[in-house]
Amino acid sequence: MNEALQRSQKRYRGIAAAALSAFFGKGIGLLVNAATVPITVRYLGAESYGLWITISSAVAMFFVLDIGISSTLTNLISEAYAKNDRERAAAYFATAFWVIVGIAACFAVAGWLAWPYLHWASIFHVKEPALALATSRTMAAAFIVFLVALPTGLITKVLAGYQELHTANFFAAGGSILSLLVVVAVVYLRGSLPLLVAGYAGASVVANIACLLWMCLFSKPWMKPWPARIHPGFIGQIFHSGIQFFGIQVAGFVVFSSDNLVISHYLSPAQVTPYSVTWRLVGYIAAIQTLIFPALWPAYSEAYTSGHLDWIRSTYRHVRRVTAAMLTIGCVVMILFGQSMIRLWAGPEAVPGELLIWLMCVWIVIYAVTTNQSCLMGATSRIKSQAIASLLGAAANLALSIFWVKTMGVTGVLAGTIVAYLTFIVVPQVFEVRNILRGR
């Protein structure tokens, strides 16, 4: 059996193992999310739940401050894995890990100094006195969890580079189960919103820490990120690629997190609830992509490094067909039964208008197509043009959302996202992917 065929079969085995484990791990995560929505909406009410989602969106913006290092690490580990270079892989991980720890420490100091001057209740447009008092504490709890999550989250990127995401998925399943237990316990004990937020988000951090310890102590002891393994020459390489991923991450934050902030600030936290619940339900249509995307990226990257372009073309075609079938079925179900499903799932406070459901279906089609394209582009380091287009799209998205939310309400926010994505993201990506598949 020739080397190319062996490599191909090994990639497919890695993708299959990751997909199956993700079906278990992330499938549990999806079920946990589905279970926690009705529990928390009914426990907190529309306004408090909307505040929780808004704060989660605000904290998500901080993750872009890793300057794209986490995304770069997957490609670097994949390249080292393709060359069977353990020493280089360990140096990449140690360098990235301690750079991220330094960023988190700087961010902690900046947050501590700025906190007395930040009035979170005003920022999130919270008017109820009791909820306004809890807003700052809730934001602080989420911020502390984020600081720990930033470096520990790199373990998933390392395992992705080694095409061993199935391991990370099993640990993630444990974190999801823990988060559900925490939510049930807090609700049963009538706990506060800060405790609920910290416990729910902290469960995934605990899972990452456990996975990191497992890798360093048992699976890959040579990957221990000792400070002595930091390679100063790699810092520039990591930042050079990372800064381009950083632009894409900033754009991603605007697309996936700013909508809730805009709705909360210009309307109210209560109106975030139907928007967020609908967004989450529609997101399940792309569940298959969620399962295979993390495994496809390093497989594409390793294949590209090895010069196996035929494998990339064939795999990309298969993924595109599966995506089309998935979107057709999911959108039809959502349009016909979406409002009834949400009423049964999360209660009447979370039911959206019919127009919002239609727009959400349009959005998920655009998102699924661009996700396939961006996966291939990221894995082959075609990210400069993607970063520029993403930043332009993010700026247009935010401007249109703010402009239209005042006249169209929540549907105006989603309309801004759709128009910006079609204009600045979809078209440039199509040409770039065509060049990749043609070997240019």
Q: Which of 5-9, 29-33, 387-391 has the lowest mean pLDDT?
A: 5-9
State residue 22's pLDDT score.
61
Most confident of 154-163, 213-222, 286-295, 296-305: 213-222
Indicate if the pLDDT at residue 26 is higher than 80: no
Token output for 85: 């270079």
State residue 211's pLDDT score.
93
Cβ pair 395, 247 in contact under 8 A? no
Higher pLDDT, residue 440 or 270: 270
* DSSP codes of every residue in 241-275: HHHHHHHHHHHHHHHHHHHHHHHHHHT-GGGHHHH
Higher pLDDT, residue 65 or 28: 28
For the stretch 331-362, pLDDT in tens is: 999 999 989 998 988 888 888 889 999 999 99
Residue range 15-36: mean pLDDT, rounded: 69
Residue range 195-207: mean pLDDT, rounded: 87
d(CA 315, CA 38): 38
State residue 210's pLDDT score.
94
Residue range 357-368: mean pLDDT, rounded: 91
Indicate if the pLDDT at residue 172 is higher than 90: no
What single letter denotes the amino acid at residue 416?
Answer: G
Higher pLDDT, residue 361 or 70: 361
CA distances from 334 to 40, 58, 419 (A): 23, 28, 21
d(CA 249, CA 241): 13
Residue range 86-113: mean pLDDT, rounded: 90
State residue 54's pLDDT score.
76
pLDDT mean across residues, the chain: 82
State residue 21's pLDDT score.
62
DSSP state of 163: T
State residue 23's pLDDT score.
65
State residue 334's pLDDT score.
92
State residue 47's pLDDT score.
78
Most confident of 15-29, 245-259, 329-343: 329-343
For the stretch 281-317, pLDDT in tens is: 888 887 777 767 777 877 887 788 777 888 888 888 8
Residue range 410-429: mean pLDDT, rounded: 88
Residue range 182-192: mean pLDDT, rounded: 87
Query: What is the band of 5 on the pLDDT scale with cuts at 50, 70, 90?
Result: low
- Percentage of residues in the chain with pLDDT exceeding 70? 87
State residue 63's pLDDT score.
58
Residue range 74-98: mean pLDDT, rounded: 87
* DSSP codes of every residue in 100-137: HHHHHHHHHHHHHHHGGG--HHHHTT--SHHHHHHHHH
Count Cα atoms within 13 angstroms, Cβ side, for 357: 19
What single letter denotes the amino acid at residue 363?
Answer: W
State residue 14's pLDDT score.
61
Indicate if the pLDDT at residue 127 is higher than 90: no
Query: What is the band of 105 on the pLDDT scale with cuts at 50, 70, 90?
Result: very high
State residue 361's pLDDT score.
92
Q: Please give the residue range of the domain that contains residue 395.
A: 3-437
Indicate the length of the chain as a whole number. 440
Cβ pair 289, 150 in contact under 8 A? no
d(CA 160, CA 156): 6
d(CA 133, CA 257): 23
State residue 209's pLDDT score.
93
Higher pLDDT, residue 23 or 76: 76
Indicate if the pLDDT at residue 64 is higher than 90: no
Any idea which residue has 């602080």 for tokens? Answer: 140
Burial grade of 395 (CB within 10 A; 0-12, 13-18, 19 or more)? middle
State residue 337's pLDDT score.
92
Total domains, the chain: 1
Cβ pair 209, 172 in contact under 8 A? no
Three-state SS at 347: coil
